Amino acid sequence: MSSSAAVIGVDSSTQSTKAVVVEVGSGRVLASGRAAHTVTGSGGARESDPEQWWRALVGAVGEALGRWGRTAGGGGTAGVAGIAVAGQQHGLVVLDGAGRPLRPALLWNDTRSAPQAAALTRELGVDGWLARAGSAPVASMTAAKWRWLVEHEPRVAEAAAGVRLPHDYLTERLSGTAATDPGDASGTLWYSTADHGYDPRLLEVAGLERGLLPEVAPSGGARVGSLTAAAAAELGLPAGVAVAAGTGDNMAAAVGLGLGGAGLLDHPVVSLGTSGTVFAATRTRPAVAALAGFAAADGQGVYLPLGCTLNCTLAVDRVAELLGLGREDAEPGGEAVLLPYLDGERTPDLPAAAGLLTGLRHATSGRQVLGAAYEGAVFTVLRALEALPGGVAADAPLRLTGGGARGRMWVETVRRLSGRPVVLPRGAELVALGAAALAAGASGAGDPVAVAVGWGFGEGRALDPLPRDERTWQRIETVLRGYAERLGG
C-alpha cells in the first residue's frame, strides 16, 4: 500500500454521523464531514430510522471527499483504500428478507426494556451472565431490547429475517456482507467473551435464532468485503475499496487512542458525550456487575471493561437551558447536589430514576445549580473507575475524550473530583479515527492499534492533578445512596 493512500473512518453516533479521510502513512486528517440524525420517542422510548443513518453516512462521506478534493493537492477517490464504520452500541435493528428495516431501531438509551433486563437477570442470575457474557443485563443491552420486541411487537419479531447492531447494518449496506466484530457483539448479551463466539445458551435465554445474526469477524479490522457497486455509486468511490468489519463506538475510540494488544494497556479513559463512559484496555477478563465486560475490537485477547452512564453532556446542557445559562456559566455547586438522571440511569442501574435536585439555600445561585449538574454527571462516571480491574493504577492519568473534553467546566470538574492527572488527546474525533485505523487494517496496513499508535492521536496536553474534592464527592455519594434505596436499586 502506498504511504499516500487514504482511508475513511465513519462514526455513526446517536446524534450525528462524522466521517474522516486519513492518510495512512502519516495519520494526517485530510478532510472531514458531518450529518445530523433525528432521535424520536418519549416516556423512555428512543428510536431512529436506520435508513436515516445510511443517508447521513453518504452525506458525511460526500462532504469529506468534497473538501478533500478542494484542498491544495487534494487527492482523488482512486486513492481511497478502505472504509470502516464505528456505531453506537446496543441498538436493535430488525430486517426483512430484502435487508430493509421492519421498524425504527431501538437505541441504546431506550429504557423501555428495563423489565425485560430484570427478567433476563432472573433466568441466569447475575453470576451466570457474568460467567458467559461478561456483563449483567441492563435495559441498554440488545438482548433486553429483543425480548421487549418479542413481547410488545410479536408480529415484527416473527417477521425478522435478520437482527443487526447499528454498525452491522451500515457495514452490510457498504459491502453486502452480514458481519460484525467481537467488540460490538460483546454488548449484545448473546456473545460469550469467555468462548469468543455466540453462546447457544444465551441465545436460548434471549429467545433468538442463530440464523438471524451476522457472522463474527476475527477483529474489527478484518476485511469482510468490498464496496458494492450500488454503495460505491452513492459514495462516489471505486467499487474495489476494502470494507472492514468495524466495531462499536467505544471500541473504536480505544483503537483511536492506541489502546490494545499492540498499544497501551490498563490506561483509563473517560469519555464525555451524550453518554459518559470510563474504560481501559486490559488482558484481564472482567466479570463484575458494575461494568460491561466488553471485548476489544483488535481480536488479540484484549478486553474493554467499561462503565457507561446515560446522562452526560446532553443532560447538563438541558439544565443550562432550563436555567437560561450558557454551558460555561457554571461554578462549583456548594451545598447543592443535582443528579441529572433525566433519562433514567444505566450506571448505577436505576432505569426509573429522574433528575434530582437537593441542598438548595437562599444563597444558592443558578451558576451553582449548573455546576452541581456537572458534578453529578462527572461523579456518576468517575464512580465506575473503582470497578475497573486491578491493573489500572489509582494514580494513572485519565485520558479525557468526547465533546465534553473541549469544555473548560467539564475538564475542571473531572480534575477536581478525580484528583488525577489528565491528558487531553490531540485527536478530536477519536471514534472516527479509530474506525479509520480499522479501515487501514482491512486494506493491508497491518494491526489497526499499531497503526493508530503511529498516528499518535492518543497523546496530547497533560494537566497536573488537583487535590480531590472529597467533601463534594461524599455529599453526592450520600444523596445517591438514599435516592437508590428509595427507588429500590
Catalytic residues, by residue number, are 249
Beta bridge partners of 164: 93
- Helical H segments across 286-339, by residue range: 313-323
SS3 (DSSP) at 19? strand
Measuring CA to CA, which residue among 217, 171, 221 is closest to residue 452?
A: 221
If you search the block for the grid coordinates 464512580, which residue do you land on?
A: 383
Q: How far lies 271's CA from each of 250, 287, 308, in Å?
A: 9, 22, 9
Cα-to-chain-centroid distance, residue 341:
18
Is the separation of the CB atoms in 308 and 269 below 8 Å? Answer: no
- Measured from the Cβ of residue 102, the count of other Cβ atoms closer than 10 Å reads 17
DSSP string over 87-103: E-SS-BEEE-TTS-BSS
Is the separation of the CB atoms in 48 and 110 below 8 Å? Answer: no
**Rounded to an integer, what distance in angstroms lies between the CA atom of residue 437 and that of residue 456?**
12
Measuring CA to CA, which residue among 37, 10, 6 is closest to residue 22?
A: 6
**Rounded to an integer, what distance in angstroms lies between the CA atom of residue 42 and that of residue 57?**
26
**Rounded to an integer, what distance in angstroms lies between the CA atom of residue 62 and that of residue 236?**
8
SS3 (DSSP) at 277? strand
Backbone angles phi, psi at 285, to 5 degrees: -70, 120
**Rounded to an integer, what distance in angstroms lies between the CA atom of residue 480 and that of residue 309?**
14
Backbone angles phi, psi at 179, to 5 degrees: -145, 150
Q: How far lies 433's CA from each of 31, 61, 263, 286, 415, in Å?
A: 12, 14, 15, 26, 26
Angle of helix 366-383 versus helix 313-323 axis, rounded to 10 = 170
- Pull the grid cell for residue 486: 428509595
Q: How far lies 197's CA from each of 132, 147, 299, 325, in Å?
A: 10, 20, 12, 49
Q: How many residues does the structure list for the chain? A: 489
- Pull the grid cell for residue 347: 450506571
The dihedral built from the CA positions of residue 117, 118, 120 and 125, taken in this order, carries a sign that is positive
**Rounded to an integer, what distance in angstroms lies between the CA atom of residue 479 and that of residue 362?**
20
- Pull the grid cell for residue 424: 487531553
